[in-house]
Amino acid sequence: MKKLYLLFNLVLLISFAQAQKNELTLEQAVLMARDKSIASKQASTQKQTDYWRWRTFASDFKPQLSLNGSLPSFTRSFIEVRQPDGTVAFQSVSNNNSSLNLSLSQSISKTGGTVFVQKQIQRFDDFDRKTTLYNGVPLAFGLSQPLFRFNQMRWDKKIEPLKYNESLQNYLESMEQVAMNVSSYYFDLLVAQVNHQIAEKNLKNNDTLYKIAQERLVLGKISQNDLLQLRLTVLNAQKDLASARQEVEVSMLQLKSFIGYRDETRLDLAIPFQIREFNVDVRKAINEAFKNRADAIAFRRKMLESERDLNKAKAENGLNASLNMAFGLSNRGNRPLDVYRNPQDREFVEIQFNLPIMDWGRSKSRTETAKANLELTRQTVEQEKLTFEQEIYTQVALFDMLQSQVKLTAETDQIAATRYQIAQDRFILSDLSITDLGIALQEKDRAKRDYIVALRDYWRAYYTLRYLTLYDFETNQTLDKN
């Protein structure tokens, strides 16, 4: 029963220790950063801003119902009145001139014009003479149409959807950028923790070997120089441990700050040994990037914007005119309903124009500048496309290479660790020199660090590949916009 009681207590202690250990995986850190980090919240806020900007643009092409007017519009003053004999008299006035206008308008993107339907009522109160008059437009139809002019709405309808889609892809890229940054901070801390573990183990081993060497010195089996060399190794191990401890604290603070981790407990990171092996077809990666990336959308947007600027320069160099017309009914009376009794026709037609006669080559200069800018944009976009493809091609090649690199460094780490254990046992049996033992120790530590660095480079390349293509090659799916 006593043994069972001790075993039960041991299980409780182990369970408590495991509960106290706060181990964090790379995947958990990425998910936490995407949910809580300032960078992810900024990306979400920007996405929301772009959404409402798009909704504002889309609403401009829907019918607009508005009510405007002046209610009241009171005036009490003296005004100048020209008399029949040419003299001036200042007449007292006291009136209210109120009006209301209800209109329904619709933009026409193909022509750049606007059609509208409106109703209007006006009331005039002359308080000096105690009279009231009404004037109104029961119904009117109108059109405002630019002629031979640049159509901003038509170009906006081509460019703004691209801007919105570009913003959606920018959000996805921002989330993948968060994952890339997390992987960097994660492995900065992981390398620091591994260095700390190595330093602790090396100090413990070197201290043990130093004590053994002291006994062997008494027996005359080791020289004083070798003993001093081991003592120096112990002192260096102590310095390495202090430096590693400081690096762990700094790296842990950086990771916690970025992922939005508010807990004060220590983070112990799990080494992501299990890499995700899969083949990436470079042509598929390039195609997915051109289909998904914000930069690919920006290529088309930049060309359209340059073409728009050229079209604008050409349209504004010649005849600019606009047609404004309205047809409907109007009337006046002493009561509001008089406006609707036997209303009269109401017509309004106006054409305004502006025709440059001589501008000393300004119009031609603007057109040629727009043409040159269009050609420059075309060349720039072509170069950006080449760089875009080359970046993806290089990243795919790097990712394939790093998958093999991780396997090689893992095997090297195992061999170096085994070799050091053998060297340590041989030294204890007086079958190995202190120099060879030090070389084995350095090779063990370097192999461990190289393995962790290889894992860091692999995971960095993994998230970078997702960022550059916005595609998950494990599941063969495009990354979700939601």
Say whether pLDDT at 467 is over 90.
yes
Higher pLDDT, 257 or 276: 257
Asked whether residue 80 is domain-assigned, the answer is yes
CATH number of 388's domain:
1.20.1600.10
Cβ neighbourhood burial of 105 (10 Å; 0-12, 13-18, 19+): middle
pLDDT confidence tier of residue 399, bands split at 50, 70 and 90: very high
Residue 29: predicted pLDDT: 92
Q: For 87-97, what is each residue's pLDDT tens digit? A: 998 888 899 99
Q: What is the pLDDT of residues 279-289, one digit of tens each?
A: 899 999 999 99
13 has pLDDT over 50: no
- How would residue 16 be classed by pLDDT, with cut points 50, 70 and 90? very low
- Do residues 127 and 257 share a domain? no
Whether 173 contacts 349, CB under 8 Å: no
Strand partners, 134: 123, 333
Structural domain of residue 449, as residue ranges? 22-58+155-305+365-478
Mean pLDDT of 9-32: 62
3-state secondary structure the chain: CHHHHHHHHHHHHHHHHHHHCCEECHHHHHHHHHHHCHHHHHHHHHHHHHHHHHHHHHHCCCCEEEEEEECCCEEEEEEEEECCCCCEEEEEEEEEEEEEEEEEEEEECCCCEEEEEEEEEEEEEECCCCEEEEEEEEEEEEEEEEECCCCHHHHHHHHHHHHHHHHHHHHHHHHHHHHHHHHHHHHHHHHHHHHHHHHHHHHHHHHHHHHHHHHHHHCCCCCHHHHHHHHHHHHHHHHHHHHHHHHHHHHHHHHHHHHCCCCCCCCEECCCCCCCCCCCCHHHHHHHHHHHCHHHHHHHHHHHHHHHHHHHHHHCCCCEEEEEEEEEEEEEECCHHHHHCCCEEEEEEEEEEECCCCCCCHHHHHHHHHHHHHHHHHHHHHHHHHHHHHHHHHHHHHHHHHHHHHHHHHHHHHHHHHHHHHHHHHHHCCCCCHHHHHHHHHHHHHHHHHHHHHHHHHHHHHHHHHHHHCEECCCCEECCCC
Q: Quickly state the pLDDT bin for 294 (edges 50, 70, 90).
A: very high
At residue 7, does pLDDT exceed 70? no
312 touches 156 (CB < 8 A)? no
pLDDT score of 18: 40
**In this structure, are 289 and 437 located in the same domain?**
yes
Same domain, yes or no: 131 and 168: no
456, pLDDT greater than 60: yes
| 261 and 325 belong to one structural domain | no
pLDDT for 72: 87
Q: How high is the pLDDT of residue 481?
A: 57
- Give the tens place of pLDDT for each residue, 26-48: 999 999 999 999 999 999 999 99
CB 427 within 8 A of CB 441: no
Contact between 170 and 360 under an 8 Å Cβ cutoff? The reply is no
Six token digits for residue 344: 């009269």
Residue 345 pLDDT more than 90? no
393 and 458 housed in the same domain: yes
Label residue 22 by pLDDT band (50, 70, 90).
Answer: low
Picking from 329, 355, 381, the residue at the C-terminal end of a domain is: 355
The Cα–Cα gap between 286 and 469 comes to 7
**Mean pLDDT on 323-333:** 89
Confidence tier at 15 by pLDDT (50, 70, 90):
very low
Is residue 185 within 8 A of residue 40, CB to CB? The reply is: no
Rounded CA-CA distance 309/370 in Å is 6
Last residue within a domain, chosen from 355, 383, 416: 355
**Residue 183: is its pLDDT beyond 70?**
yes
Q: Which of 285, 299, 298, 295 is nearest to 478 (CA)?
A: 285
Residues 160 and 243 occupy one common structural domain: yes
210 with 293, same domain: the answer is yes
Torsion of CA 450, 452, 456, 458, to 10 degrees: 70
**Lowest-pLDDT choice from 36-40, 264-268, 410-414, 453-457:** 264-268
Mean pLDDT for the chain overall: 86
Residues 174 and 143 in one domain: no
Residue 388 lies in a domain: yes
Residue 39 lies in a domain: yes
Residue 5 lies in a domain: no
Q: How many domains does the chain have?
A: 2
Residues 51 and 78 in one domain: no
Per-residue confidence (pLDDT) for residue 444, from 0 to 100: 83
Considering 187-196, 244-253, 294-303, 359-368, the range whose residues carry the highest mean pLDDT is: 294-303
Residue 15 lies in a domain: no
Burial class (CB in 10 A: 0-12, 13-18, 19+), 233: buried
Average pLDDT of the segment spanning 191-197: 87
Same domain, 97 and 179: no
Q: What are the pLDDT digits (tens) for 362-372?
A: 888 989 999 99
| The pLDDT value given to residue 86 | 84
For 43-77, write each residue's pLDDT tens digit: 999 999 999 999 999 999 999 999 999 988 899 99
Of the ranges 132-136, 153-157, 217-221, 451-455, which one carries the lowest mean pLDDT score?
217-221
Domain boundary among 328, 355, 382: 355
Q: Could you tell me if 338 and 407 lie in one domain?
A: no
* Residue 313 included in any domain: no
Is residue 413 over pLDDT 90?
no
8 located within any domain: no
Average pLDDT over residues 145-160: 91
- Taking CA atoms, 10 is separated from 2, 13, 23, 162, in Å, by 12, 5, 21, 64
181 and 206 share a domain? Answer: yes
Dist CA 287 CA 464 (whole Å): 16
Q: Is residue 7 part of a domain?
A: no
The backbone torsions φ and ψ at residue 261, rounded to the nearest 5 degrees and listed phi first, read -85, 115
User: What pLDDT was estimated at residue 120?
Assistant: 93
